[in-house]
A and B are shown apart, each in its own frame.
Chain A
Amino acid sequence: MTATVSISSIEKNFGATKTLKGVSVDVAAGEFLTLVGPSGCGKSTLLRIIAGLIPQDGGTISIDGAPVDHLLPKARDVSMVFQSYALYPHMSVRENIATPLKVRRLSSFARWPLVGKFAPGQAAARAEIAEAVKQVAAQVEIEALLDRRPAQLSGGQRQRVALARAMVRQPRVFLMDEPLSNLDARLRVHMRGELSELHQRLGATFIYVTHDQVEAMTMSTRVALMMDGEIVQVATPDEIYTNPADVRVARFIGSPEINLLQGRADPQGRISIAGRATALRTEAVGQLTVGLRPEILTIDDGSSDIVIDGRLQRVERLGHDVLLHVRNDGSDRKNMTLRVSAAELEALQMSGRLEENFTIGARATAALLFDADGKRLPAIHGATASEPLTYSSGRKLVGV
């Protein structure tokens, strides 16, 4: 029970504001696609359009190749998990999970409040539903909670009930609207793992909305990054991190944020940062932005292709890693962040190199170039241009 979802040039306006400006993306069967972006970028609106909860103003949604634009949510065979879980507070967990099945399998008279239970000829259907509820409750390990009300459950347990309610009728597509954002940090990390596992086990198509880039990076098959009602880039988590198509993507993905420096390309395409020549080359001329991820920066030992002057502001210890916040005394006076390991920090402190002004360095191959509009520019640096970048490839430290 899995299906492709094709979203093609979806538009949505609320009054004069264009919330979605022609969004298109194809989701493969069994894929875990994450729509990620800052608040108000239209990702939740897009999810509701896929579910059929709100109509679009233009474009088409197809599930399994067939357009579903004219269908009510019930007929689209999708299920959805909401940020607030949206459980029915007056029903037990068992009744909550059974609701989607009851609506589909029981006659309308049998669903009447109070008198419905006297409807004849529904015993077989009721038994089937009870069995399905029991099975799905076992899958998310909430069998012991079936007779409780949602108010008696913790956040994590409610989350599981919401998942069970979504799973129970085996829909073709799962839609998830920030399902983890109401959980505390620990539980969120745990549920991230469980959701990934669930996706693998069910093999269903997941479309997952979040504003948290960590969730997007850790769980998805592909990430679609949305900004201002448009999809800026769709790529695998690896690709979107190492090869962002736009400076907004580079800024949004990655924590701490990428360091962006103003650069200038001379007519030969040689790029200088804060007046210092670098080994970077490009085909463009004029102002541009150079992006350097915190982990590719090092304290220069004379071998770097790019060098920036800096002065240590603050050290932030994360356990295994340490963030060095460095003030760049160049023309644009920006703060930069370096990520080094705790061992490296110790070595640097021993050598006394962090006490005075020093030079930050990076390999030219690891730098990301963006033009004045924020679009990615191809960098030219010889044979190594297409070499994939790994975490430690751009790193070389003094004294280690």
Chain B
Amino acid sequence: MTMVLSSHPIGRTPRRRLGAEIAPSIAYWFATPSIILLVGTMLLPIVVMIAMSFTDYELGALDFSFVGFDNYVSLWGDKTFWRSLLNTAYYVALVVPASVIIGLVLAVMVNGLKRGRRFYQIAFFLPVTSTLIAMATVWKYLLHGKIGPVNHLLTAIGLPGMEFFGDPSLVMPALAIIGVWSLAGFNMVLFTAGLTAIPQELYEASAVDGIDNPIERFFTVTLPMLGPTTMFVIITTSITAFKVFDTVAVLTRGGPQGASDVLLYVNYLEGFQYMRIGLASAITVVFLGIILLLSLVQAKVLERKVHY
């Protein structure tokens, strides 16, 4: 490069940029396909959805009219909506801490193994790869009130049997167990990636400093160094947990007595069972708003704590 430049008499030929120069008006045309795709597949559907939340459109109807905030007002007064919102929040509150902590503990324990590390990583990751709907059937059997092995176990050790999917106070925890089971393995993989990025010298420094207790070492080195990973895991797990749908649709259908109505299930019923697309869109807008808010708050709060 310098050789080429210096072979030119200095001052006569103007210094030229390497590569072709393209006028901006032409350059934008090159970007058009990707802009169309971005708008068409990502932004437009959301805009259409938001617009529909202000209409009384019903699936299959030929025309519709704008109704303003009517859909939101009826949501505000709708008991089912509020119950589904609370149930979803309860589910998130159960699933997120459990699956993050279990994922972290698994990652640290498996990472510390001398042999068999691969086996355990694959084993714990398997639930992520299996279809939740198929596995839900297995869980339904496992947690069944009469024939379920879990109940047999409980009665065998002298505890009362539990109707996991029949008792309104037990149905959300039962669904949460399945949620944790399906998410913990994925979180473990994310934490494992974070663990391998921790420099070995930091552990050595802590050993020389006198930290020889594994729990203290975990809190002095491992956990702080996993901060950014933890933040990512908490946010993605929250979003996934908020979107709980398949287990509810397959196992409980919102029952018993609406005790497992969750936001997306109610949304699905409104849109595809009762055909009220306008109302369903309003629920989706609320749903998106909550996820956005949750992620923003978490990012803001955690960002300050995890990036040093």
Mask: chain A, 62-91; 1 = CB below 8 Å from B; 0 = not: 000000000011100011101110111110
Residues of B within 8 A of A90 (CB): 224-225, 227, 308
Selected contact of B208 from candidates A79, A88, A108, A113, CB within 8 Å: A79
Any A CB within 8 A of the CB of B207: yes
Any A CB within 8 A of the CB of B38: no
Any A CB within 8 A of the CB of B63: no
**Residues B308 and A86 in contact, CB atoms below 8 Å apart:** no
A79→B207 CA distance, assembly (Å): 10
A364→B143 CA distance, assembly (Å): 93
**Residues A88 and B202 in contact, CB atoms below 8 Å apart:** yes
A159→B202 CA distance, assembly (Å): 15
Q: Which A-B residue pairs are the 5 nearest by beta carbons?
A: A86-B205, A103-B210, A74-B210, A90-B224, A89-B308
**Residues B224 and A88 in contact, CB atoms below 8 Å apart:** yes
Any B CB within 8 A of the CB of A150: yes
A330→B211 CA distance, assembly (Å): 62
Any B CB within 8 A of the CB of A104: yes
Any B CB within 8 A of the CB of A138: no
Mask: chain A, 95-120; 1 = CB below 8 Å from B; 0 = not: 00001100110001001010000000
Stretch at the interface among B26-34, B146-154, B213-221: B213-221
Q: Given the known A-B contacts A88-B224, A150-B308, are A100 and B201 also in contact in the complex, defined by CB atoms under 8 Å? A: no
A-B contact pairs, 11 of them (CB 8 A): A51-B208, A52-B207, A53-B204, A72-B212, A73-B210, A74-B208, A74-B210, A86-B199, A88-B202, A100-B209, A111-B216
A87→B204 CA distance, assembly (Å): 11
Give A306-355 interface residues, CB cut-off 8 Å to B: none
A111→B217 CA distance, assembly (Å): 11
**Residues A88 and B221 in contact, CB atoms below 8 Å apart:** yes
Residues of A within 8 A of B216 (CB): 103, 108, 111
Residues of B within 8 A of A99 (CB): 206, 209, 211, 220
B220: nearest chain-A partner, CB-CB: A88
Chain A interface size, under 10 / 10 to 19 / 20 to 34 / 35 or more: 20 to 34
Residues of A within 8 A of B308 (CB): 89-90, 149-151
B221: nearest chain-A partner, CB-CB: A88
**Residues A89 and B201 in contact, CB atoms below 8 Å apart:** no
A73→B216 CA distance, assembly (Å): 15
Q: Given the known A-B contacts A80-B204, A86-B204, are A104 and B220 also in contact in the complex, defined by CB atoms under 8 Å? A: no
B209: nearest chain-A partner, CB-CB: A100
A344→B219 CA distance, assembly (Å): 64
Any B CB within 8 A of the CB of A251: no
Distance in Å: Cβ of B113 to nearest Cβ of chain A: 19
**Residues B210 and A113 in contact, CB atoms below 8 Å apart:** no
**Residues B204 and A89 in contact, CB atoms below 8 Å apart:** no
Any B CB within 8 A of the CB of A281: no
Tell me the count of chain B residues lying within 8 A, CB to CB, of chain A: 21
Among B201, B212, B219, the most chain A Cβ lie within 10 Å of the Cβ of B201
Give B206-250 interface residues, CB cut-off 8 Å to A: 206-213, 216, 219-221, 224-225, 227
A27→B121 CA distance, assembly (Å): 46
A80→B206 CA distance, assembly (Å): 10
Distance in Å: Cβ of A275 to nearest Cβ of chain B: 42
**Residues A80 and B221 in contact, CB atoms below 8 Å apart:** no
Any B CB within 8 A of the CB of A48: yes
Distance in Å: Cβ of B308 to nearest Cβ of chain A: 4
A79→B205 CA distance, assembly (Å): 9
A108→B219 CA distance, assembly (Å): 13
Kindly list 7 other residue pairs between chains A and B, CB separation below 8 angstroms, not including A73-B208, A73-B210. A51-B207, A74-B211, A80-B208, A82-B205, A86-B205, A149-B308, A150-B308
A88→B198 CA distance, assembly (Å): 11
Q: Given the known A-B contacts A84-B199, A86-B201, A90-B224, are A78 and B209 also in contact in the complex, defined by CB atoms under 8 Å? A: no
Give B155-204 interface residues, CB cut-off 8 Å to A: 199, 201-202, 204
Residues of A within 8 A of B207 (CB): 51-53, 72-74
Any B CB within 8 A of the CB of A12: no
Q: Given the known A-B contacts A84-B199, A86-B201, A89-B224, are A103 and B219 also in contact in the complex, defined by CB atoms under 8 Å? A: no
**Residues B208 and A83 in contact, CB atoms below 8 Å apart:** no
**Residues B208 and A89 in contact, CB atoms below 8 Å apart:** no
Any B CB within 8 A of the CB of A165: yes
A80: nearest chain-B partner, CB-CB: B208
**Residues B201 and A83 in contact, CB atoms below 8 Å apart:** yes
Q: Given the known A-B contacts A89-B224, A149-B308, are A82 and B201 also in contact in the complex, defined by CB atoms under 8 Å? A: yes
A79→B208 CA distance, assembly (Å): 6
